[in-house]
Structure 1
């Protein structure tokens, strides 16, 4: 049987390939390296997006050799890569550039040896002094590693040098400012790539394309036409093996401050003058600075108790490993905020995120104002629902538009939906977020990474809420059952405005 070419892929060009470089992964024995980073690099190699001579140096405290490290990474790719089992021929080539470097993060001798090893890789593999340092470690290790890189001259080289720093970037405004000061005492801002993997998702990147490359939507992207916006990131999982970390973090720090605020900025920002890193990030910062201080009564928090997930009983948050039995850490947050600028004045943005909810789903829903119904008054057609544009980020990536239509043969109106789905339309599996982000860093493109002023503007908004919660009386946690859509207070919170959460 002959298959027709997909017309949506006709004429597509291969993207740019970076210059030869070496990526040093601190925390190379950790879960992030195995599940995300190395599978992403392997898939880039598989798609011929990596340069000749590309090399990886894993830096960790385990007593491993180059060969044992390669074997572990091969197994990780087999388990976690979207492209399936390792191709032996490709792996043989890719693995030639993989090395393991033993050392403690505070061991000066380990960094002296790293300098020598990177110089040897430059000579042997032609990487030209170009380096990416990836901090895949707990946040408390960041200052130590950064200081050692500076002390041993690794922040500068004969080529270019960049550093990728994972979230969380600080735990409040003061700590974020302190970490920025430490980073920028060693690196320049244009060398620093603060990563949020949500921005690497294809559907998130498509928000700007959808808004600014389609002339029919921009005129109605405005307070005159939009009633409100809902941004939801729901997880079915609990804290799994992250209880110790999560109990010092909570949903506001773990999800709202980075993922949901990033989505908000992309939905609300003005068109940049050009499509480059600084212009895009300038507009995002303007959004954050225009947000009205969030009132405590415009927030709801919750913590899951025992319940069920996927038909099986699950423990409550306080019974999870590493969690205090009297914990006041929130696993659910809902809040309302307003952007006080010309485009969005008076339009509420509702954000919610939680663990142990019924479905894993991330979505941005733009609800438009209802059409006047006087022409249908006193007729069977007087049953209109507002139009809703939903951007589905995961798991069913796509965009849907709900509008009203007459039922054939009946004097009735029913909502119908137009659906666009990435997988069905383009016929390919979307790349993982880390694939795009790692490639962009190697290319020197910071568009999808967070700048210093953006991080601090976000924490400026949310730190007062954290302080108010900490200073307030304990709440009667748990207040929602695992497997439900969160605390009843969240439904009452949005109902006070005459609205309701979308059914997902």
Structure 2
């Protein structure tokens, strides 16, 4: 596949020096460098940018550039263009605790700013373990890396803490250096085309928007299913689990996109105001409610014994009680959604990869001219969300007149990859598709109530076979309300 076939044209060239902490790592090579290359192809990055990769490894600039080019080979075959792109990349071996290394980094950034006329703009990207975030930020301040005359923007990858207390401590350490308007907390699901288009779909379809409330909606379901196991992430998963890894951030933000009140406009300030209000209305569960409203699971081998059970994976405790599956029933107390259940689930080793939102309307929706008990499904993955379904049928083929967007099947064909889209927003200073601290406080408070109860109970693991839809209790969670999962492989 040649990357240039799907490249969109970008009108305005941007200027910046990117400093990527963890520049030798997997995230940088698998996601960040291909995303930056797409922007280079489109002309958004051209002559006035540089990328400094930092890590402990003693690489040279030349070797670093070779690794960058290698990371692009699955996306393009234009060696000349990839080589020209890589000439903007520089490497510095770096110890996050060594002040001298930050001084050298500051000098290199200033040199490259002059060389490429980058406007004194800095993007500091934390592609490193979260335990180093605070240390790096403090050194950025103490060694004076922040510039005058341009902008300074800090990009943070998840996980942002492991509970409310640690997230608060981390946020406090960052805010001493970077005010909230300079911090960009990445959730890559917010960069996906379908998630970004939900607001537009709501704006352009007044009947659909009018139907999005507890009067007309029976329930809303969010599924993030994966067919793979933990693979080489066993060590990480042992400290995280599905609840923290998927529900606290990805699932909550997806819920926010479909459940928030209609903002006054599609600006970052207006969108985050209604999102913050929504998450503040989360009904935090009491200990006894956790037992009835949330289900956890851990995968076993498959029915043939061919797949590894989670407890047999590398870097996993043989008696681990970490969940690889979670399902829950979430409610809000706001006027719009009070009484409507939001069913969520995420699991490893499910039958297929599927990320989707299913909105199940009740029979009252007929008052709006919509067929009673209609289900609208937004398919986020796989294939980067090419489909909207109405009662399981592609909406272009379905007999309906309340949803008219997008206009044709080619709409998503040239959609930007999630990281590419988010980097565009960072360069533009647009926070609309990032997570604010006020939102995180509310979601962590909710998740902590579930986690604290689980930590004092002994689960009966493993409790679902690889290749299945998860524990039977996840079905019971809906059945007691007279509902069922829309996606059931």
TM-score, length-scaled by structure 2: 0.91
SS in structure 2 at match of 1:314: coil
Instruction: Please say which of residues 364-373 and 312-321 is displaced more in the overlay.
Output: 364-373
Q: 2:29 aligns with which of 31, 34, 40?
A: 34
Q: Answer yes or no: is the 8 Å Cα contact 2:158–2:187 preserved in 1.
A: yes
Q: 1:392 aligns with which of 362, 379, 382?
A: 379
SS in structure 1 at match of 2:363: coil
Rounded Cα–Cα distance in structure 1 between residues aligned with 2:344 and 2:407: 25
SS in structure 1 at match of 2:254: helix
In structure 2, relative to structure 1, the CA distance for the partners of 1:123 and 1:155 (3 Å cut) is closer
Deviation at 1:158, TM superposition (A): 3.1
Q: Answer yes or no: is the 8 Å Cα contact 1:303–1:317 preserved in 2.
A: yes
Deviation at 1:458, TM superposition (A): 0.9
Residue 68 (structure 1) aligned with residue 63 (structure 2) = yes
Deviation at 1:18, TM superposition (A): 5.3
Deviation at 1:254, TM superposition (A): 0.2
Rounded Cα–Cα distance in structure 2 between residues aligned with 1:155 and 1:245: 32
Q: Answer yes or no: is the 8 Å Cα contact 2:123–2:154 preserved in 1.
A: yes
In structure 2, relative to structure 1, the CA distance for the partners of 1:356 and 1:403 (3 Å cut) is closer
1:254-333 mapped onto 2 (5 Å cutoff): 254-294=245-285, 295-296=289-290, 297-307=292-302, 313-333=306-326
Instruction: Please say which of residues 116-125 and 86-95 is displaced more in the overlay.
Output: 86-95
Q: Answer yes or no: is the 8 Å Cα contact 1:207–1:266 preserved in 2.
A: yes
Instruction: Provide the aligned C-alpha RMSD in A.
Output: 2.4
Q: 2:390 aligns with which of 393, 401, 406?
A: 401
Residue 24 (structure 1) aligned with residue 19 (structure 2) = yes
> Residue 155 of structure 2 aligns with which residue?
164
Q: 2:332 aligns with which of 332, 339, 343?
A: 339
> Residue 245 of structure 1 aligns with which residue?
236
Residue 431 (structure 1) aligned with residue 416 (structure 2) = yes
Residues matched between the structures, number = 467
Q: Answer yes or no: is the 8 Å Cα contact 1:265–1:284 preserved in 2.
A: yes
1:72-87 mapped onto 2 (5 Å cutoff): 72-79=67-74, 84-87=75-78
Q: Answer yes or no: is the 8 Å Cα contact 1:231–1:260 preserved in 2.
A: yes
Deviation at 1:151, TM superposition (A): 0.9
Deviation at 1:153, TM superposition (A): 1.1
Q: For 1:396-423, what per-residue CA distance to the aligned partner results, in whole angstroms no more than 9, with x for missing partners?
A: 422111289xxxxxxxxxx989998899
Structure 2, unaligned runs of 5 or more: 1-5
Structure 1, unaligned runs of 5 or more: 1-8, 374-383, 405-414
Rounded Cα–Cα distance in structure 1 between residues aligned with 2:273 and 2:11: 25
Bigger Rg, structure 1 or 2? 1
SS in structure 1 at match of 2:171: helix
Rounded Cα–Cα distance in structure 1 between residues aligned with 2:185 and 2:63: 30
Q: Answer yes or no: is the 8 Å Cα contact 1:399–1:421 preserved in 2.
A: no
TM-score, length-scaled by structure 1: 0.88
Q: Answer yes or no: is the 8 Å Cα contact 2:225–2:348 preserved in 1.
A: yes
Deviation at 1:428, TM superposition (A): 2.6
> Residue 480 of structure 1 aligns with which residue?
464
> Residue 345 of structure 2 aligns with which residue?
352
Residue 144 (structure 1) aligned with residue 131 (structure 2) = no
Deviation at 1:14, TM superposition (A): 5.0
